[in-house]
Every structure is written in C-alpha cells, then in structure tokens.
Amino acid sequence: MDYDFSDCTLCPRNCHSDRTINPTVSGLNNKYGYCGQSNTVRAARAALHMWEEPCISGSSGSGTVFFSGCNMGCIFCQNFEISHRTYGKNISIRRLSEIFLELQEKKANNINLVTPTHFVPQIIDALSLARKNGLHLPIVYNTSSYENVETLRMLDGLVDIYLPDFKYFSASLSKKYSHTADYFEKASLAVSEMVRQTGKPVFRTEAGNFLTAEEYDDKALLYRGTIVRHLLLPNCLEDSKAVIKYLYETYENQIFISIMSQYTPLRSINEYPELNRKVSSREYEELVDYAISIGVENGFIQGENTASESFIPAFNCEGI
C-alpha cells in the first residue's frame, strides 16, 4: 500500500522522520525516528514458537516473525537485542510473503507478527501477496499497544487475532520505564479498536467446530478475538491490579486476559535496582487472586519457572 515514509507517523511517537534516507549514501547519522528502522523490512527470526498462550501455540507452534526495532523501547525488554540494538536482516516484501508461506508449510497454527507497528504498510502488501499464493492461516498482531488507531484501521479485515500487551496504568511508571507518559491513553484507545475489529473470541477445534469463550477448552485454537497480556513487574503490584481492574470493567468477557509472571531481569536494567529481581510467587499469586475476586473468568496464568532467559528466543535470523 502507498505510505509516505518520508514523513512517518505510524505510531504515537509521531516522529515525522524520513525513513527513506540511506545514511551510507547521504552521510547522515539518520536513525529513522524512535523505532530505528528504515522503510525496508528488517526481521531477526521466523520460526515455530511454543511459548505463547495455549490457544495460540497449540501443539505445533505459532508461526512467529520477530521484526527488528520497536516504537516502545521498554528498558526491561526481554527481546532487547532486536528491539534496542535492531539486530536482524533486511528483506523485501516478496521475501516476507514467502516466509509466511514457509511457516504455513511447517504446520504453524497462525502467522504471528511480533512488534510489527513500524512495518504495517509493508506487512499489508506481503499478506496480500501471500494470500494470492495460498496463505490461509489466521493472522496474529502481537504488539505493545502503543499504537495509533489510524494505523490499526489499516489492518481491519486482515488481522484475525490481536495479542496486545497492556503494560501500565500509571503514567509515571510508563514514563520511567518506557518513555511514554501517554501510554495508558494510547493503549486504551488501541485495545478498544482491536476489540471492535475482532469481536468476542471464537475458537476452533481440530475437527473444525467453532466454540465461544464459554465453551473453550485447552485443545481449541483461537480463531478470532483479542487476548490482552499484562506482565507483572517487581514492586508494581498495585499498578498491575489497576490494569486488570480496568480491562475487566471495560471489556468483561469480550477479551481474554493473560497474566504473565515471566519477567526476567537483564543487564539493561542495572540502573533500576527496583527491577533487578524476578517477581515473587507471593506477588503473582496475589495478582491472580485479585483478578478472580473481581470476576475475571476468561484468562490465562503462568506456572512457576517461566522467568528464565531460556524462554527468550535465539535471534539468529533463522527462517529469514
């Protein structure tokens, strides 16, 4: 699709940066705005991924494409190597469409676009080309929720499943850890648009039968709908409760809420001692109990031992 990358406003940063400039030619130190990416797609991994929610990964895996760069830039990011250092490989739109089809051939349950915001126009073109060549899997949009509604509307009818984070309720926390004082405002509008597009969750069994959220069992795959994720951070329990309360009071059973305990402290947070530990079992159990106490029924929780660097994929350009 046509998009003016010389004046980019795809995300709420609204950098108005020129992502068409080649710094090796111009001699400029051009970082292409906050995401650090040009108008050429860059990705670091395309492979079957088993660590999403059960209805996303299933038994054969989710066909994840990890894009390089990020418009959010959380200081604690588990994918720091590609979100901040922008490791990866430049690829064409045609190659991206081929990757989607290759993941389908590997029996992926869906195509999972991870941190895709700054490449939305190219993804739209790649999906169109792939569908002409036989792509039929559900499309998952896996995002921080720091999105412009106008950009999400470009995807209406193309994305089947939204998998957004909802990171913060507090503006002071979002400013401190993600340099986004307006995160709650932008994320709440973005999730509202996602739910509008997908409607209530619909699941599909191996036999091809469709189930409502009330009928869901752990062997069915999400066919259409929105799962909102929240990662509990150390010393942020009350903010997490506020996030869960907001999501449930706003959407009730129109969404699934995934409460995650997998926070892993990496070297990137050395200047933030309050984050330099894993979440305790007590903290996580209190958050889950709180969610249950206010009425949350459609949800996912994580077991112990999920906070480990072993759950961070190897960004080695596999499948790219």
Q: How confident is the model at residue 310 (pLDDT cuts 50, 70, 90)?
A: low
Q: How confident is the model at residue 29 (pLDDT cuts 50, 70, 90)?
A: very low
CB atoms within 10 A of CB 143: 26
Is residue 68 scored above 60 in pLDDT? yes
* pLDDT at residue 304, rounded to an integer: 66
pLDDT tens digit string along 264-281? Answer: 998 888 899 999 999 999
Is residue 124 scored above 50 in pLDDT? yes
Nearest to 112 by CA among 161, 173, 184: 161
Is residue 1 scored above 50 in pLDDT? yes
Class of domain 44-311: alpha beta
3-state helix/strand/coil string of the chain: CCCCHHHECCCCCCCCECCCCCHHHHCCCCCCCCCCCCCCEEEEEEEEECCCCHHHHCCCCEEEEEECCCCCCCCCCCCHHHHCCCCCEEECHHHHHHHHHHHHHCCCCCEEEECCHHHHHHHHHHHHHHHHCCCCCCEEEEECCCCCHHHHHCCCCCCCEEEEECCCCCHHHHHHHHCCCCHHHHHHHHHHHHHHHHCCCEEECCCCCEEEHHHCCCCCEEEEEEEEEEECCCCCHHHHHHHHHHHHHHHHHHCEEEEECCCCCCHHHCCCHHHCCCCCHHHHHHHHHHHHHCCCCCEEECCCCCCCHHHCCCCCCCCC
Question: Where in the chain are the domains?
Answer: 44-311
* pLDDT at residue 295, rounded to an integer: 97
| Main-chain phi, psi angles of 256, to 5 degrees | -105, 145
Residues 6+ apart with CB under 8 A from 46: 63, 64, 65, 66, 99, 102, 103, 318, 319, 320
